[in-house]
Structure 1
Amino acid sequence: MNKILVIGHLNPDTDSITSAISFSFLQNQLGKNTEAVALGECNEETLFALNYFKFDAPRIIDRASNDTKDVMLVDHNEFQQAVSDISELNILAVIDHHRIANFQTASPLYYRAEAVGCTQTIILKIFKENSIAIPKNIAGLMLSGIISDTLLFKSPTCTEEDVRAAEELSSIAEVDINSYGLDLLKAGTNLSNKTAEQLIHLDAKSFEVHGKKIVVSQVNAIDFSDILSRKNEILDVLNHTISESSLDLFVFVITNILEGDSKMISAGGLINECEKAFNTKFIDNEAFLKGVVSRKKQIIPSLMDALS
């Protein structure tokens, strides 16, 4: 039986990694031969979840065709966020909760996208639809994905479905949502050992908006000052990346998980558009975004409107 790789997006976050693992497990229970793989190193938050529930990090690849022609995508669909040889592959399935863009296939596929806060919420439904029992450790990873993507239900992307799914999964995993959730999110704020280059690529996503190439990177923190003390170094790396990759805009978002606000460092030729998008002024390439925590629901739509 041919192997199928289950793959999350570039610069993987907790939902991307854990969704690949849980969906691979589900597909194997249904008789497929799959392996969850990653397109980059796991971040500190993801490593906390993997260690807590006793999983090894998935194998890292940069091309899938070295292993197989068949893949399933989780937590993304846009080709610029996918494995480098995506256009050469046979995409069998996509499970996602983002906009659909820059995506096409030569053959029919199973495509499931829902307006929820986390891919794991959708995967839980698929487990139920197929009457597949969820092991305790898999449930823990699925819960971790929901907590991470919804910022423990504080993100505007969070839905009642996400909350109900988290409650169900926490019962299976036998962990307290709030206690475990805070520990998980705090683990993700431990960035002191990261270089500026690593910081801006920890959770960076590329988009093409009305012909403009932009990257939006986001990290979580419990104190803005820890990261802003390195602002000049970060700006140097942002500007270098813009030049090297021919980008129009690179925004680096620092989200305070305790206060529910963000600060944005912006570089490139679209600062005026950023000011318009968020109705604010950038001073020395920096702006405060009150109540903004979601890249998917708040940042990207605002940028799309400003660039239209």
Structure 2
Amino acid sequence: MIVLGHQNPDCDSLCSAIGLASLFNKLGKEATPALQGEPNPEALFLLEQSGLPQPEIRTSVAGEEIFIVDYSDWGQGTEDMKKATILGIVDHHKLGDITTSTPLECWIWPVGCSATIVYNMYKFHNQTPDATVAKMMMGAIISDTVNFQGPTTTDIDKIAAQNQLKLPVLMICKPLLKRNLKLNRISNLSLLQNSFYAIRKYLKWAVRSWRSVN
């Protein structure tokens, strides 16, 4: 099975594909994460921080069994994706135009990040993500929710982040947020003016949470 992210891979597409493929392998279902192109700079930064290898790039999936993450529309898939067997979808956006001829597994939640859903799939299956995978998913949640300040952020995202919180994961938070600013990911002036306050507030919360579980 291929776990395939969308075109122009970002943090969530990359990290959710890695996290979900890892979960399937823990469950005895052979799965490989794949991208449809080179990850963006922020996603590459997460890979460097985690030490995980970059997933293979796939531009053709005809005849394959696939599980797609962070999208549910044909336009974000490969040109031949209609010739693949879609086994499932994980997404946090509005429902797209993908249809299938057989039933499939769908995890589509109104949350701030697909990695939040993947984490809850681990919980559903009574599994725990490896530390490096947890680091990736934590980074994706921080990125997609803009440090929990974005309009799509939910308590489910915050709980997923808190439950994954371990010291190695905590160490990625501040560098990632600084990286976001360098990439002009946060362009709203008011967010920029309050970015350091947000970082300080989040890190204080993170330290308190980490201490409470250790």
Alignment-derived partner of residue 138 in structure 2: 143
Per the TM alignment, residue 181 of structure 1 is displaced from its structure 2 partner at its CA by 2.5
Partner secondary structure for residue 18 of structure 1: helix
TM-score under structure 2 length normalisation:
0.84
Tell me which amino acid in the other structure corresponds to 1:136. A
Gaps of 5+ in 1: 191-219, 222-253, 262-308
- Partners of 2:3 and 2:109 in 1: how far apart? 19
Deviations 1:203-244 (A, max 9, x none): xxxxxxxxxxxxxxxxx51xxxxxxxxxxxxxxxxxxxxxxx
Per the TM alignment, residue 258 of structure 1 is displaced from its structure 2 partner at its CA by 7.0
Partner secondary structure for residue 187 of structure 1: helix
- Partners of 2:81 and 2:70 in 1: how far apart? 15
Indicate if the aligned counterparts of 2:15 and 2:140 stay in contact, CA closer than 8 A: yes
Partner secondary structure for residue 71 of structure 1: strand
Q: Equivalences for 1:37-56 in 2 at 5 Å?
A: 37-56=34-53
Partner secondary structure for residue 9 of structure 1: coil
More RCO (CA 8 Å, sep 6+): 2
Alignment-derived partner of residue 175 in structure 1: 169
Q: Which has a greater percent of helix?
A: 2
Deviations 1:246-286 (A, max 9, x none): xxxxxxxx74267338xxxxxxxxxxxxxxxxxxxxxxxxx
- Partners of 1:54 and 1:119 in 2: how far apart? 21
Which of 154, 159, 174 is residue 149 of structure 2 equivalent to? 154
Tell me which amino acid in the other structure corresponds to 2:113. C
Q: Is residue 2:28 matched to residue 1:31? A: yes
Indicate if the aligned counterparts of 1:43 and 1:188 stay in contact, CA closer than 8 A: no
The 3 A distance-change label for structure 1 pair 31 and 75 is same
The 3 A distance-change label for structure 1 pair 257 and 135 is farther
- Partners of 1:128 and 1:140 in 2: how far apart? 16
Q: Is residue 2:182 matched to residue 1:185? A: no
Per the TM alignment, residue 189 of structure 1 is displaced from its structure 2 partner at its CA by 5.0
- Partners of 2:169 and 2:33 in 1: how far apart? 24
Per the TM alignment, residue 170 of structure 1 is displaced from its structure 2 partner at its CA by 2.1
Gaps of 5+ in 2: 193-214
Alignment-derived partner of residue 64 in structure 1: 61
Indicate if the aligned counterparts of 1:11 and 1:39 stay in contact, CA closer than 8 A: yes
Indicate if the aligned counterparts of 1:92 and 1:109 stay in contact, CA closer than 8 A: yes
Q: Is residue 2:161 matched to residue 1:166? A: yes
Per the TM alignment, residue 166 of structure 1 is displaced from its structure 2 partner at its CA by 0.8
Q: Which has a greater percent of strand?
A: 1
Indicate if the aligned counterparts of 1:44 and 1:187 stay in contact, CA closer than 8 A: no
Which segments of structure 1 move beyond 4 Å, counting only runs of 4 or more?
Answer: none
The 3 A distance-change label for structure 1 pair 10 and 69 is same
- Partners of 2:53 and 2:172 in 1: how far apart? 19
Tell me which amino acid in the other structure corresponds to 1:128. K
Which of 8, 11, 30 is residue 8 of structure 2 equivalent to? 11
Indicate if the aligned counterparts of 2:134 and 2:169 stay in contact, CA closer than 8 A: no
Tell me which amino acid in the other structure corresponds to 1:130. H
Q: Equivalences for 1:1-308 in 2 at 5 Å?
A: 4-65=1-62, 68-171=63-166, 174-176=168-170, 180-188=172-180, 190=182, 220-221=183-184, 255-256=186-187, 259-260=190-191
The 3 A distance-change label for structure 1 pair 167 and 180 is same
Deviations 1:50-99 (A, max 9, x none): 1111111111111112xx52100011111101122111111001011110
Indicate if the aligned counterparts of 2:60 and 2:79 stay in contact, CA closer than 8 A: yes
Partner secondary structure for residue 83 of structure 1: coil
TM-score under structure 1 length normalisation:
0.59
Q: CA RMSD in A?
A: 1.8
Tell me which amino acid in the other structure corresponds to 1:133. T
Indicate if the aligned counterparts of 1:44 and 1:188 stay in contact, CA closer than 8 A: no
